Amino acid sequence: MNKYCYIIFFVLISFVSSFAQLDGFSKMADSDSFKARMSQEAERTHSISSDFVQKKFLSFMEEEMESSGIFKFKKDNRLRWEYILPYPYAIVLKGDKVRIKEEGKKVNEFDMSSNKTFKKINDLMLDCVRGTVLENDEFDLAYYESKGEYLIHLLPKSKEMKNLLQNVYIYFGKDDYQVASIHMAEESGDYTHITFKNKKLNEELGEGHFDLK
């Protein structure tokens, strides 16, 4: 895996933490209805634009690192993470191609399909944001709910995936069935928590949104 693969790997995979993620949640009363509604929403969602706030903790650091930016998604397989604070950084995934731009420097590109592990992580992220995560056979799923949110707890099945992730938690708003936050934890205790804000659905997003120059 080259250095750019590592950069994106840690951006996408360092996701969330040691505190009790199930506090305030109970087993979902009707998971079949939830699955059916999720399938409907995934089918009708063609694009997503959102602000995001990311909090990341690495075991060798004393405090969380916080960053924020803009997220864009478009069917099929178009994804843009653009970090604005604390410094500009952009990642665009377009099909199997990944492009990266950091602090206004030149754009670097590599083929994601050449690395099986990274492709699995990318597929998971796409499944999360487009609502098709229920179809991902890399995980066992458990369903929970609170007064205002649904929660899917993903436990990796394969040894390969277990070496990357310990737990994945995806929170959905009960009002719109859209992802409110994503939460992944590594066995080491490292984590990142990403919260989505000011979300807009099905706006027209031209291909220019998924280009880096």
Among the listed ranges 21-35, 81-95, 119-133, 199-213, which one has the minimum average pLDDT value? 119-133
Tell me the C-alpha distance between 164 and 137, whole Å.
16
Assign 3-state DSSP to the chain and report helix, strand, coil percentages, each to 5.
25, 40, 35
pLDDT exceeds cutoff 70 at 213? yes
Average pLDDT, the chain: 82
Q: Between these two residues, 195 and 64, which has the higher pLDDT value?
A: 195
Give the residue-averaged pLDDT of 152-172: 86
* Burial (0-12, 13-18, 19+ Cβ within 10 Å), 23: exposed
The gap from C-alpha 122 to its chain's centroid, in whole angstroms, comes to 8
Residue 104 corresponds to which tokens in the numbers above? Answer: 């206004």
Give the residue-averaged pLDDT of 177-187: 85
Homologous superfamily (CATH) of 3-210 is Lipoprotein localisation LolA/LolB/LppX (2.50.20.10)
Tell me the C-alpha distance between 189 and 172, whole Å.
24
Q: Between these two residues, 102 and 117, which has the higher pLDDT value?
A: 102
pLDDT exceeds cutoff 90 at 32? yes
Domain ranges of the chain: 3-210
- 3-state DSSP call for residue 118? helix
Q: Count of H helices and E strands in the chain?
A: 4, 12
Give the residue-averaged pLDDT of 167-184: 89
pLDDT exceeds cutoff 80 at 22? no
pLDDT exceeds cutoff 50 at 18? no
pLDDT exceeds cutoff 70 at 29? yes
pLDDT digits (tens, 9 = 90+) for 62-80: 778 899 999 999 987 889 9
